[in-house]
Amino acid sequence: MKIGSILENQNIEKRIAVTPEIVKKYISLGFEVCLSENYGLHLGIKDDQYIAMGASTSKDENKILNSSDILIQLGLLSDEQISNVKQNQTLIGVLNPYNNKEKLMNMAKRKINLFSLELLPRITRAQSMDILSSQANLAGYKAVVESFSYFEKAIPMMMTAAGTVPAAKVLIVGAGVAGLQAIATAKRMGAIVFATDVRMASKEQVESLGGKFLTVEGSENLETEGGYAKEASEDFKKKQEELLTETLKKIDIVICTALIPGKKAPLIIKDDMINKMQAGSVIYDLAAIQGGNTAFTEVDKIVEKNGVKIMGESNILNKLPVSASSLYAKNIFNFVDNLFDKENKRINVNLDDEIIEKTLIK
């Protein structure tokens, strides 16, 4: 059987789905691997490195698309590329079914197996395939580094003969995977860190990393069975707003990570809150692509309001494409390993397997 992958649109996505070390693993399962020519060149990976591991490369991307049994990508293919995918082929990636529903339904009607890995269940057996966690971990780290680079004061407390420089105060909004990594990174760099989340289970995790958890009085636990945050009540939102308004007056840097799968990002930091923040403060909004957690977030722009810089990028992982690709490629391999019937050398869409059943777009 053949596994193929073609280059993503480089203006949108710099990550790749197959690294040289992973080629060797696919070949050990009995697959052939075929990639676009210069597949990893933009990351410093030459075709020779793939070929040395047993892969082949081709200039003809359409040939790769219509001859591969399994196609591994980051995002959904373009309309033209989709037309080259045939019946019974399998496409694996981050297909964003909430925004691409019609396209995916049309592909499913053509009997193309579609697996979208952001739908993975949060179970122990799926952890090695969990692309959301591996990528969010890097995003949380990079958001802190990026925001610190725009903050025009020192981060750690510094005691000098000329006086003391106070430590920067950082607030993390949303203590999921990205938020927890942001807490750990900011703390390591010497900041005083606060965090808030609608899931009460986050309190212990935040405090274990040295952060102070901000609790809304009389708060309820807003966590789904799958471990994600769910929509808060109006009463909770009002109390959270009051707490944040007071907290933000003394905060230097805010990292926003609050997302609800399949929905517009919740608006948490409103215009009047930002107007009361100190000039020179920085907000980095990781939820920008889904509408943003602040009133002024714009994708791929730095907006300045009342002296506060508000940053939001469409894909922060394009700034860490080598590390992000390495983890993503391993996640995908582990998923394929689970999907592949090694004895009969075929794809086994076993709907009794929760991992397969949850990620298959039907």
Tens-digit pLDDT profile for residues 163-221: 999 999 999 999 999 999 999 999 999 999 999 998 888 999 999 999 999 987 655 55
Kindly state the percentage of the chain with pLDDT values over 90.
85
Task: Kindly state the tokens that stand for 161.
Answer: 């003969």
**Ranges 146-150, 187-191, 213-217, 296-300: which has the least confidence:** 213-217
Same fold flag, 2-119+321-350 and 136-318: yes
| CATH, domain 2-119+321-350, list 3.40.50.720, 2.60.40.10, 3.30.70.360, 1.10.10.10 | 3.40.50.720
pLDDT at 268 over 60: yes
Q: Enumerate the active-site residues.
A: 122, 127, 130, 133, 228
What values do phi and psi take at 274, rounded to 5?
Answer: -65, -40
Amino acid sitting at position 160 = T
Q: How confident is the model at residue 259 (pLDDT cuts 50, 70, 90)?
A: confident
**Choice between 301 and 241, residue whose per-residue pLDDT is larger:** 301
Q: Supply the pLDDT for residue 185.
A: 98
Pairing verdict, β 212-213 and 192-196: parallel
CATH number, domain 136-318: 3.40.50.720
Q: Supply the pLDDT for residue 216.
A: 74
pLDDT at 226 over 80: no
Q: Supply the pLDDT for residue 198.
A: 82
Paired with 9 in beta bridges are: none
What's the alpha-carbon Rg for the chain, to the nearest Å?
22
Query: What residue segments make up the domains of the chain, in order of their start?
Result: 2-119+321-350, 136-318
pLDDT (average), residues 65-89: 94
With beta carbons less than 8 A apart as the criterion, state whether 39 and 7 touch.
Answer: yes
Alpha-carbon gap, residue 360 to 216, rounded angstroms: 38
Q: Supply the pLDDT for residue 114.
A: 97
Q: Supply the pLDDT for residue 151.
A: 97
Q: Supply the pLDDT for residue 95.
A: 94
Average per-residue pLDDT for the chain: 93
